[in-house]
Structure 1
Amino acid sequence: MPLQIATDFAFRAEEPTDVLLQFEAAMIPEQRLSEFRTELSSWDSFARIDAQDDIGDRLWVRAEGRFEASYRAVVEVDRLLTKLETLEKMDPLKLPGETVQYLFDSRYCRGDKFQSFVDAEFGDVSGGRQMLAMRDWIADNFTYAPGSSSATTTALDSFVERRGICRDYAHVMVTLARAAGVPARFVSCYAPDVTPPDFHAVAEVFLQDSTTPGGGAWYLLDATGMAEAGEIVKIGVGRDAADVSFMTSFGMTEFLEKTVTVTRV
């Protein structure tokens, strides 16, 4: 079923300021865009560049005064869905080189801090079953609480407080997976049924590919339970939220407003 996306936001810069934006649905094989339109208000400079892992685009703008962005798209997700409990962990020696970075600690996700916990709590299972057990543990032990975290909240902070928003749930999932030796990355996305409506965030883990013997593939996991893999529209991926924020300002800006709606067509 196609998904219709509508996103609008605005910010103000008192002087010419460089801002990096990433809010468009990625044009990748697993999701087809039948319609899309991006409208930006006036800018001093503009550039479109590839995003991380060639998933999506980033937009550089140099803006002054009020800046507005509007995005409309119709997307149909055509993603291979697999039962994760049937998948095994990849042998580290056989991991593709581009996945290894997602085993390392990052700004918000310090997997080394969780190795003993992961071994004690999830050490009796492995591979996809272990990833599902981690997802379920987060869902059972965390409270979804808008406003309970900030841009500085790490996975460790969320783990201690046992609450957060989708960003925090994804950070904890990524961190636990890395602590188990499974490459994991943060995915910014759109999805229907997100409450309150907004940009969404989930985790993605690298396990054996069910269709290619000896190969591996990325699989989505949402510990909030709000989004299904077959209805997640990827915007971008990264080591954590710092890599795929929809707006990163390299100077003083005032964020003014934002609306995001995702509906089934």
Structure 2
Amino acid sequence: MRLAITADLAWHCQEPTDILLQIEAAASSDQRVLSSALDCTSAGHLARVPAQDGIGERIWLHQEGDFAVSYRAEVEVLRRAEPLETLAAVPPHRLPGETVAYLMDSHYCPASRFVPFADEEFAAVEGGARVVAMRDWIARHFRYVPGASNASTTAIDSFVERRGVCRDYAHVLICLARAAAIPARFSSGYGHAVKPQDFHALAEVWLADAAGKGAWRVVDATGMATAEDFARIAVGRDAADTSFLTSFGEAELRSLAITVRTV
């Protein structure tokens, strides 16, 4: 599937501020960036650095006053949706090194706190079928409520309140998967069916492939994106690694507009 993406952001910095921007779709084996353009207000400093796991790039900015960024891209998503129920889990002792960090607790995802619940609730199924059961449990028990969470909301908070937005759904699913010794990472990106349209977040889990080695699979508990219509920006342990804008100082976001359509 081909997606045409636009993202326009504007913010104000009262004083010189360092900003880490992460809004461009990443070129990878499962998606191709056919065209891309980033236009921004003249900045005192602009430098690109590799993002988490070498997927995509972050952009360092040093800015004061009003600032605006406009991003345009066309992305071809090459991955295909697979029935997760048919996929096995990879035993922990056979996991490749790059997946091990995604078994551990992280800032927003204290997965070890979820082990008793995951063992009790999902003990009857294994592997991909267990991930599907976790996804469906969240979909049944959570309400999608814009504004229900903030930058301090963890998966524990979301689990207790049973509400949130895409980042919160992803955090809880990641915790449940990690609690079952299935590597899970946070993925940010664009999806054309996301309502209201915004940067989207979902989980990716490591499950066995046909060769038994394993690969990352897209799982969205909100139901708004699939493997075939999601253009990935970045991955990480949780939302802290993939935020579209991280400021080291005061930065007031004044406008944000995103459109995603199929081509």
Which TM bucket (shorter chain)?
over 0.9
* 1:45-97 deviation line (CA, Å, top 9, x unaligned): 11101101111100000011111110000111001432211111111111110
Counterpart position of 1:242: 240
Q: How far apart in 1 are the matches of 2:81 and 2:6? A: 26
Q: Partner of 1:37: helix, strand, or coil?
A: strand
AA at the equivalent of 2:231: V
Counterpart position of 2:31: 31
Give unmatched runs, 5+ long, in structure 2. Answer: none
Give unmatched runs, 5+ long, in structure 1. Answer: none
Counterpart position of 2:260: 262
Conserved in 1, the CA contact under 8 Å of 2:35 and 2:73? yes
Q: How far apart in 1 are the matches of 2:29 and 2:207? A: 19
Give identity over the alignment, percent.
55
Counterpart position of 1:69: 69
Conserved in 1, the CA contact under 8 Å of 2:187 and 2:236? yes
Counterpart position of 2:174: 174
Counterpart position of 1:143: 143
Normalization by structure 2: what TM-score? 0.98
Counterpart position of 1:206: 206
Moved more, 130-139 or 37-46: 37-46
Q: How far apart in 1 are the matches of 2:133 and 2:206? A: 16
Shift of 1:19: 0.3
Q: How far apart in 1 are the matches of 2:153 and 2:142? A: 15
AA at the equivalent of 2:259: T
Counterpart position of 1:107: 107
Counterpart position of 2:226: 228
AA at the equivalent of 1:242: A
* 1:26-61 deviation line (CA, Å, top 9, x unaligned): 011211111110111111111101101111100000
Q: How far apart in 2 are the matches of 1:36 and 1:45? A: 21
Counterpart position of 1:119: 119
Shift of 1:170: 0.4
Counterpart position of 1:216: 214
Shift of 1:214: 3.1
Normalization by structure 1: what TM-score? 0.98
* 1:9-39 deviation line (CA, Å, top 9, x unaligned): 0111122111001000001121111111011
Conserved in 1, the CA contact under 8 Å of 2:7 and 2:257? yes
Q: Partner of 2:228: helix, strand, or coil?
A: helix
Task: Say whether 1:16 aligns with 2:16.
Answer: yes
* 1:223-257 deviation line (CA, Å, top 9, x unaligned): 00011110010000000000000000001111111
What root-mean-square deviation, in Å, do the aligned CA atoms of Structure 1 and Structure 2 show? 0.8
Moved more, 117-126 or 79-88: 79-88
Counterpart position of 1:88: 88
* Number of aligned positions between the proteins: 263
